[in-house]
Structure 1
Amino acid sequence: MGLISILSVFLKACGLAVLLLLLRALAWLANMLVIAPVFDTMKRLPGKTGAFFQSYLDDVLDPQQSADTHNRWRKLYGNTFRFQGFGRHDNRLMTFDFRAISHILTSPVYEKPWQTRSILASLVGRGIFSMEGTEHKAQRKILGPAFSAQNTKELTPIFQAKAEELCDQWDSVVSQTDSSGDLAAQQSPVIDVSNSLGKAVFDAQGLAGFDYAFDSLQDDSKPDYQAYRELFRVVDQGVAPRDIIDLYAPILRKIWPSEKTAKLNKATSSIRHLGRKIIERKRAQVINGESDGKDILGVLVRSSLSSEPSARLSDRDLLDQCTTFLFAGTDTVSIGLTWALRQLSLHPGTQTRLFEELRASRELKTLDGYDSEGSDDSGFVEDPAVRSAHTPSSQWAKSLDSLPFLDIVVRETLRICPPVHSTIRVATKDDEIVLSEPICVDGRPASSVSIRKGTYIHIPIEGINYAEEIWGADAHEFSPDRWTKLPETATSLPGIGNLMTFGYGPHSCLGHRFAVAEMKVFLAAMVLRFEFKPVEGASIKKWNSFVTRPYVEEIGRSKPQLPLHVSRRL
C-alpha cells in the first residue's frame, strides 16, 4: 500500500510538472504572438506584410531570388524597411543606409543572435565566430598577430606549392584526354574545378593553420580529412526543423540525437582527437626551437607561452580557433576561387588580360629576382620547406599583391559573388538608429528608427554589392575595371577595401588579408597554366547555407560543383 501511495504522489507531481511546462509554453506563445506585437516599433515602418504566419525569409536568403527581392522592395519602400520573418509577430529590419549599417556593425548593442552562435559553436566550438562581448574582443586581440600582413606574406609559399600541385593534377587530366586519340574529347576536357579546388585549399589551410599535411588532394579517403568533410556536409544540409527544435531543447541532442547530430558528434570527436595531438606536437616544437611559428597555431602557441598564465589559451581554445580558421577559411577561399574561374570563363577578354599581366610579371621576376643562394641547385638549401620558400616561384608569389589587374579581378569577384551572402544581428537592448536619409514612419518623415530589444536586423551583403545606386547601372555585371575609378557612393561604403564582403567593425573578418592573398596565389598559378571555358548546357545556380556555393542541377538532384573546359596555355 505504501508503494502505491508513493507512485500516486509521483504521478501527481509529474502531472503538475507537465502542466506547469504547458502553461509556461502557452504564456510564451501568447507573449510572442499577441502581447509583444502590440508594442513592436517595427510595424510602424514601411515594408512587406503577408498572412499571419507567412515568412519572407526565403525571399531574402535564397540567392536565386534575393537580388530581385532587394531591388523590388527598395523601389517600393526605400533604403530602410521591415519584412516578416516567421510571421507578423516577427517583423525584422533591413537597411541599405550606410549610416545605419555602420552603427549596427560597430555598436555593442547589436550581436549575432544566440541561435546563430549556438549553431556555429556546435560546428567549430568556442571560436571567434561564435563569441561576443569581452570574450570576442580578447580572442581577436590574441589572434591579430597571426593574421598580420607580414605573417600572411610569409605563408604564400605554402599557397604556391599547393596551387602548383593542383595544377599538376589538372595537367595530368588534360594529358590523358590529349592522348586518348578521340578528337572530340581532345576539344573538350572537362574538370569539376570546385571539387578539386576545395581539397587544395583545405590542404593549404591545414599547412598554414596547423602545420599539418592533410594531403586530401592526393588521397581524400584519409580519416582526418573525412572527419572535416563530414563537418562540411552537415553545413551543406542547411537548417532543418529538427535543428530548430534542438536549439530550444538542447537536451534532445543528448537523449535523442538526430542522424545529423550523431554524425556531427562523431566528426567533432575525431577532430578533437587529432587536434590534441597536433597541439601537443606544435607546443613541443616551439619549446624546443624546432618551429618558426609562422603557421597560425605556431603563432598562437608562441604567444600563449609568453603570456601571463591568466591570458593563455587552453588547448580547447587553441583547437576551437584553428578549427574555426580551417572551416571558415576553406569555404571562403575555395568558393571565391570557384566563382572567379566561372567569371573568367564567361569573360575571355578579361582572362587573357590577366594572363598577360601574370606572364609579364613572372618573366620579370624570374630574370631580376632569382636568388642563387636559395635556389634548388645551389647546394645551400637542403630542407624542402626552406627551399620552397626561396625559389624564384615562391618569391614571385610574395610579389603578387602588387599586380593591379589581379587585384581588381579578385575585388570584383568578391563583390559580385560574395562567399557570405548576408549577416544578421539582434538588438540586446532598446536603441535609436539615426539614418542618413529620412523614411516614412506612420505616414510622417522620420530621421531615425526606434529599435526594441530582441529585434532582428538583416544586413544584405549581396544586396549592397549589387546596388545600382552605389556601383552604377552595370552593378550586376562582372567588370573589374570599375575599381580603377570607383564612384563616390562606393568609396564611402563601410567595409574593408570598399566592400561589405568581409564585414565591418569589431566583427569584420580577421583573416581577410589571408583570404585575398591565398586567392591571388591560386588564381595566378591556374590562369598562367590553363585557359578556362564554360561548359555549354551546364545549369549553374547559387545556393546558400552559411556561404553562397555554386551548384549544378542534374537529373533529379543538385550538387556543389563547377564543370569547366580546361586546356593548357600554348
Structure 2
Amino acid sequence: MPITTASPFGLHTALWSTAIRVMSVGLLITGIVALFRISSHRIRQISLWKLPGPPSVSLISGNYSQMYHVGAAQFHKHIMDTYGRVIRITGPFWDTQLLISDPMACARILLKDQDIFEEAHWFIESNQHALGIGLLSTLGDQHRKQRKLLNPVFSTKQIRSLAPLFHRITHQLCDALQSQVAGGPTEVDMVVWLHRFALELIAQGGMGYTFNSLEPDAEENEFGKSVKEYTPTLSNLGVLRILFPLVSAWPKWLRRCCARLVPMPMVHNIIRLTDVMQACTQQILDEKKALLEMGDSVFAQQLSEGKDIISVLMKTNITASVEERLPDEEIRGQMATLILAATDTTSAALSRIMQLLSQRPDVQEKLRKELNLAGMRSGQSDLDYDVLVSLPYLDAICRETLRLFPPLHFVHRVTRADVSIPLSEPIKASGDPLSSLFIPSGTAVAVNIVGMNRDQSIWGADAAEWKPERWLAPLPESVVEARIPGVYANTLTFLGGERACIGFKFSQLEMKAALAQLIRAFRLSPSGTEIVWRFGLVASPSVKESTVVRAQLPMVVEMA
C-alpha cells in the first residue's frame, strides 16, 4: 500500500525518515571527528595561552559574542588599548585565536608567508556557495591564475577609460538629490542614495548592466534587491557564524538541506539571495557571450561600450593561452564577487566621508573651493581623471577617512603549518618578553586593519583624530619606518600581498568622482539625529536606539 504522507520537502514519510537518519549519522560522525581534532589542536596551542587577551565570556562562543555584534566597536577599542598589537582571543569551543596589528608580523602574514597564512577553508567554501568561483573563493595557484588575468583589467589605463561613465552616473545621483531638496534644506537619508550610487556604478562599470538604481520611479529588480540585502543579512547572523567551520567539509547538497531545517527566516533568506544572484549573473554572462560572438562592433554597443570590467576580462580571456584561460564558471564567479565586494565597502566609505564633512563645515568649504577652482582652471564641468587624482585636499580627505575608518576592520587567516614570525617590538606575556611568535598549524589569525591604522606609535598621539591636513605634509618618520605592508597610502585599508583588494584604484576614482560633483552641488549639515556605526562584515551607519535594522544616515542637504 503506498504511503502518501509528505515531509516539508515533498518527500514520502519513508524517504523523509531515511534522510533524517542519514543526516543524524552524518552529524554524529562529524561531531566525533570534530571533538578529536579540537582536543588535539587545543593541546598544541598551549604556548599561546600566555599571550595577553580578554577573558572568555562563553564556553561555546568564547569572545565571539563580543567581537561580532552591532556594537562591537567599543570592545575592539578596549582590547586594542589594553592588550596592544598581539591579542589572544578565545574563539568558539575554546579555540585560541590571535588578533595582530604588529607591522612586521603582518608583513610576514600578508607577504612573505602568505602561502602559510591562507583564508580559512570554511570562508572559501561559503563564498564559493554564495558567489561562485571568484577571487574571494579561491586559493593558491587557482587564485594567482585568476588575479594574473584580472590585473590588466584594473590597470590605471583601464580605470581612466571609465571616468566618463563615473561622471554620467554621478550626474544621475545629483539629479535625484536635487529633486529631493528643490524646495530648500531637506533631511535626506544619504546612505540610501550612496548605496544606490555604488550599486549602479559597479553594475555598469563592472558588468555593463544597469539596476536603474538612480531612476526615481524605477522598480528595483530582484538582482539589485538581493545584492542590497545579502551583506546585512549575513552580518545579522552574528555568533551563528561559528557553525560555518563545522559544516564546511559537508557536501553542498547536505549543507543546503540542513540549512533549510534551521528555524530561522534569515538563514532561508540567505539561500534565496544566493540563488537569485547566481541565476542573474549566469544570465548576464550568457548575454555577453552571445554579443561577443556577433563581433566587436556589436559587443561595443553595450551600455558601457564594452569597457566594463567583465567585458574586458572576457575579451582578454579569449586571447589568453589555453593554460591561463578561465572557464565560464570562474568568470561568472568574478561578477558576484565584484558587485558584492565593491557596493557595501564603497557606500560605507562615502557615507563616512559625507557624515564627517557635514560635521566639519570648515573642511567642507575648503574642499568645495578646491573643486570649484579646479573646474575654473580646467574649464571642465566634469573633472577628468588627471585633474581628479591631482587635487591634494580631495585626496587627503579620502586617505584620512580610509585610514581612520576602514570599511573592513580585519581579515582572517589560518596557518597551514607551524610558523614562527618576528615582531616589531617585544610583547609582554607571562614570563619573558617575546620578540617572535610561534603559531601552531591550524591557528586562526586576524590581521587587525583598524588597529594598525590607528596605532599611536606609528601615527602619533593624534592617531585617533580625523585630520585630513596630516596628508598635506610629509608623514612622520615613524610611518615610513613601520613599513606597513599595504598597497594604499601607508595603511592596511586595502590590505597587501596577493590577496590585496584588486579594485582599490576603481574605488578611489569612484569616491573622488562622486565627491567632486556632490560637494560642488550641495551643502551638507547634521540632522540633529545621533548616528552610530554598527560593527558587521562591513561597517554601516544607523540611528542610535532605532528599531529599524537597515543602515540609516539622515542629514540636511541643500543646494550649494
**TM-score, normalization by structure 2:** 0.85
Q: Distance in 1 between matches of 2:130 and 2:110?
A: 24
In the alignment, what sits opposite 2:247? 247
Say yes or no: does 1:91 pair with 2:96. yes
Alignment root-mean-square deviation, CA: 2.8
Q: Distance in 1 between matches of 2:26 and 2:211?
A: 52
In the alignment, what sits opposite 1:37? 43
In the alignment, what sits opposite 1:317? 330
In the alignment, what sits opposite 2:141? 134
Say yes or no: does 1:170 pair with 2:177. yes
SS state at 2:465 partner: coil
| Structure 1 residues 207 and 95: alpha-carbon distance in aligned structure 2, compared to 1, 3 A threshold | same
SS state at 2:326 partner: coil
Q: Distance in 2 between matches of 1:400 and 1:16?
A: 60
Equivalent pair of 1:276/1:315 in contact (CA under 8 Å): no
Q: Which moved more, 1:482-491 or 1:241-250?
A: 241-250
Q: Distance in 1 between matches of 2:30 and 2:291?
A: 55
SS state at 1:474 partner: coil
In the alignment, what sits opposite 2:233? 234
| Structure 1 residues 445 and 477: alpha-carbon distance in aligned structure 2, compared to 1, 3 A threshold | closer
Deviations 1:104-161 (A, max 9, x none): 1121100111222233223312110121111111111011011101111111111111
Q: Unaligned stretches of 5+ in structure 2?
A: 1-16
Q: Distance in 2 between matches of 1:263 and 1:521?
A: 35
Equivalent pair of 2:418/2:440 in contact (CA under 8 Å): yes
* C-alpha displacement of 1:21: 6.6
Q: Which moved more, 1:127-136 or 1:549-558?
A: 549-558
* C-alpha displacement of 1:97: 1.5
Deviations 1:511-533 (A, max 9, x none): 00000110000011100100100
Of 448, 451, 460 in structure 2, the residue corresponding to residue 460 of structure 1 is 448
Q: Distance in 1 between matches of 2:351 and 2:75?
A: 23
| Structure 1 residues 435 and 555: alpha-carbon distance in aligned structure 2, compared to 1, 3 A threshold | closer
* C-alpha displacement of 1:231: 3.0
Equivalent pair of 1:46/1:440 in contact (CA under 8 Å): yes
| Structure 1 residues 222 and 18: alpha-carbon distance in aligned structure 2, compared to 1, 3 A threshold | closer
| Structure 1 residues 51 and 294: alpha-carbon distance in aligned structure 2, compared to 1, 3 A threshold | closer
In the alignment, what sits opposite 2:368? 355
Q: Distance in 1 between matches of 2:179 and 2:22?
A: 71
In the alignment, what sits opposite 2:8? none
Q: Which moved more, 1:332-341 or 1:254-263?
A: 254-263
Q: Which moved more, 1:214-223 or 1:201-210?
A: 214-223
In the alignment, what sits opposite 1:415? 403
Read off the aligned partner of 2:107 and give its amino acid letter. Answer: S
* C-alpha displacement of 1:81: 3.4
In the alignment, what sits opposite 2:393? 405
* C-alpha displacement of 1:233: 4.7
Q: Distance in 2 between matches of 1:306 and 1:35?
A: 47
**TM-score, normalization by structure 1:** 0.84
Equivalent pair of 2:383/2:516 in contact (CA under 8 Å): no
| Structure 1 residues 73 and 235: alpha-carbon distance in aligned structure 2, compared to 1, 3 A threshold | closer
Equivalent pair of 1:552/1:559 in contact (CA under 8 Å): no
* C-alpha displacement of 1:191: 0.5
In the alignment, what sits opposite 1:302? 315
Q: Which moved more, 1:73-82 or 1:455-464?
A: 73-82
Equivalent pair of 1:416/1:465 in contact (CA under 8 Å): yes
% identity of equivalent residues: 28
| Structure 1 residues 52 and 27: alpha-carbon distance in aligned structure 2, compared to 1, 3 A threshold | farther
Residues 115-130 of structure 1: matches in 2 within 5 Å?
115-130=122-137
Read off the aligned partner of 1:306 and give its amino acid letter. Answer: T
In the alignment, what sits opposite 1:365? 378
In the alignment, what sits opposite 1:25? 31
| Structure 1 residues 559 and 451: alpha-carbon distance in aligned structure 2, compared to 1, 3 A threshold | same
Q: Unaligned stretches of 5+ in structure 1?
A: 1-10, 179-187, 367-391
| Structure 1 residues 301 and 75: alpha-carbon distance in aligned structure 2, compared to 1, 3 A threshold | closer
Deviations 1:456-480 (A, max 9, x none): 1121111222222222222222110
Say yes or no: does 1:486 pair with 2:502. no
| Structure 1 residues 38 and 455: alpha-carbon distance in aligned structure 2, compared to 1, 3 A threshold | closer
* C-alpha displacement of 1:49: 3.4
Read off the aligned partner of 2:538 and give its amino acid letter. Answer: V
Equivalent pair of 1:63/1:421 in contact (CA under 8 Å): no
Equivalent pair of 1:192/1:564 in contact (CA under 8 Å): yes
Say yes or no: does 1:152 pair with 2:163. no
Read off the aligned partner of 1:522 and give its amino acid letter. Answer: A
Equivalent pair of 2:212/2:220 in contact (CA under 8 Å): no
Q: Which has the larger radius of gyration?
A: 1
Equivalent pair of 1:94/1:459 in contact (CA under 8 Å): yes
